[in-house]
Amino acid sequence: MRILISNDDGIDAPGLAVLERAAARISDDVWTIAPDGNRSGFGHKIGLRQSFLVKKVSEKRYSCSGTPVDCVISGLKWLFKDTQKPELVLSGINEGRNVAEDVSYSGTVAVAREAAYCGIPSISLSMPRDSSETTEAGITWLGDRLQGFWDCRKEWAQDGHWLNVNLPRVLPAPLRAARIGRDKVVASVVVHEESENHAWIEPLADRNYFATDGDENHLIDSGIASVTCINWFGQANVPHSSLFEPKA
């Protein structure tokens, strides 16, 4: 099985190294293309009007001057252009949880979303910032969970679906399906300078950690790994509305 790994924290992020080690438990064909620096909060940004550099840093590991999504695109359209495409894309392990509205902002989640666009099973993984260092037992546990997700991929990897996994602070841990929460990641801003005509504003990632029974934050804070399956291509039923033109 060919696995491609990326993230938004950068090629030197500790969480990326943990994920690479866990992936190596289930495959000997693991490749990494990750940003050359932190790209947190970049969402699904793509370098449409500017080029970016992809540079080999070691065997099967590359850094990219572009966005997290650019990493996936460079892998699929350049690195694996004339050879076997990745069968599984992993993203993370993000430094900080990715819950609720984070699925829109997160570069980590965007990596998995881009792979899902391309019909490739994909999983984004995150962990609270104050987590314990992942032990060998934790890495073994994570490798086993990745194998389990792969084995049942026909149940979730279809029609633009991907898995978003939020790990608790300590591994190993129980694993449960979760409801997507309603936590807000940017609850306030700091105004550094303002006048009648301008203001220097800094958004603060000071989430309120709002939780209800069974949602992502509740499971994380209970020491349980939470899993949500997100469908980007889903379509809800649109109710009848006077906004629509009447039929002729």
Nearest CA-CA partner of 166 in 100, 240, 120: 100
Q: Could you tell me if residue 199 is inside a domain?
A: no
Rg, C-alpha atoms of the chain: 19
Position 172 pLDDT exceeds 80: yes
User: Is residue 24 very low, low, confident or very high in pLDDT (cuts 50, 70, 90)?
Assistant: very high
Q: Could you tell me if residue 127 is inside a domain?
A: yes
Q: Could you tell me if residue 135 is inside a domain?
A: yes
Residue 226 and residue 244: Cα distance in Å, rounded?
40
Question: What's the pTM?
Answer: 0.91
Q: Could you tell me if residue 81 is inside a domain?
A: yes
Residue 116: give the domain boundaries: 2-180+213-231
**What pLDDT, on a 0 to 100 scale, did the predictor assign at position 186?**
81
For residue 35, the domain's CATH number is 3.40.1210.10
Residue 22 and residue 8: Cα distance in Å, rounded?
18
Residue 71 and residue 63: Cα distance in Å, rounded?
8
Residues above pLDDT 90, as percent of the chain = 74
Position 184 pLDDT exceeds 70: yes
Q: Could you tell me if residue 114 is inside a domain?
A: yes
Give residue 42's identity as a one-letter amino acid code. Answer: F
**What pLDDT, on a 0 to 100 scale, did the predictor assign at position 239?**
67
Mean pLDDT of 118-144: 97
- Characterise 68 by phi-psi region: left (phi > 0), alpha (psi -120 to 50), beta (else): alpha
Q: Could you tell me if residue 14 is inside a domain?
A: yes
Q: Could you tell me if residue 192 is inside a domain?
A: no
Domain count, the chain: 1
| Phi and psi torsions of 103, nearest 5° | -65, -20
Q: Which residues contact 223 (CB under 8 A, 6 or more apart)?
A: 168, 169, 170, 173, 174
Q: Could you tell me if residue 237 is inside a domain?
A: no
Q: For 31, how many CA atoms within 13 A lie in the half-sphere containing its CB?
A: 21
